[in-house]
């Protein structure tokens, strides 16, 4: 989890990221993000909408293991962050981390 935390932080600092569930959903509908991250305690209505649109757009979705306060902290925000869209990861390796996690999950099934 620490590796994911660091990768998200670097993406926010050096890349292009949209923070907030409403803006993230708008960006997903446009098909622009390379990846979407949601907090583990993201409200169910928002979570299901994001899952639906990411599947339609073939955008990778990462469910962050921490809660929205922790995700906000990683993004250097003083408030909760339920979702964020990564357009450009910058110096972060978050896209490769997601690929590795998906490979591990597929092997476990």
The contacts of residue 3 (CB under 8 Å, 6+ apart) are 97
CATH domain 2-108 topology? 60s Ribosomal Protein L30; Chain: A; (3.30.1330)
CB-based contact 14:92 (threshold 8 Å): yes
What is residue 108's predicted lDDT score, i.e. its pLDDT? 38
Cα distance between residue 84 and residue 75, in whole Å: 10
pLDDT in tens, 64-92: 999 999 999 999 999 999 999 999 999 99
CB-based contact 83:38 (threshold 8 Å): yes
Cα distance between residue 51 and residue 28, in whole Å: 10
Count Cβ atoms below 10 Å from residue 10 Cβ, excluding itself: 16
Domain ranges of the chain: 2-108
- For residue 31, count CB atoms less than 10 angstroms from its CB and return exposed for 0-12, middle for 13-18, buried for 19 or more: exposed
What is residue 103's predicted lDDT score, i.e. its pLDDT? 41
What is residue 84's predicted lDDT score, i.e. its pLDDT? 96
The tens-digit pLDDT sequence of the chain (109 residues) is 568 889 999 999 999 999 999 999 999 999 889 999 999 999 999 999 999 999 999 999 999 999 999 999 999 999 999 999 999 999 998 888 766 655 433 343 4
Half-sphere exposure of residue 46: CA atoms within 13 angstroms, side-chain side: 21
């Amino acid at each position: 989890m620490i590796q994911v935390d660091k990768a998200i932080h670097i993406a926010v600092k050096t890349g292009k990221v949209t923070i907030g569930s409403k803006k993230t959903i708008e960006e997903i509908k446009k098909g622009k993000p390379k990846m979407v991250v949601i907090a583990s305690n993201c409200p169910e209505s928002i979570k299901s909408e994001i899952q639906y649109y990411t599947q339609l757009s073939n955008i990778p979705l990462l469910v962050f293991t921490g809660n929205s306060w922790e995700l906000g902290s990683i993004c250097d925000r003083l408030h909760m962050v339920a979702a964020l869209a990564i357009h450009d990861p910058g110096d972060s390796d978050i896209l490769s981390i997601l690929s590795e996690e998906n490979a591990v999950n597929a092997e476990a099934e």
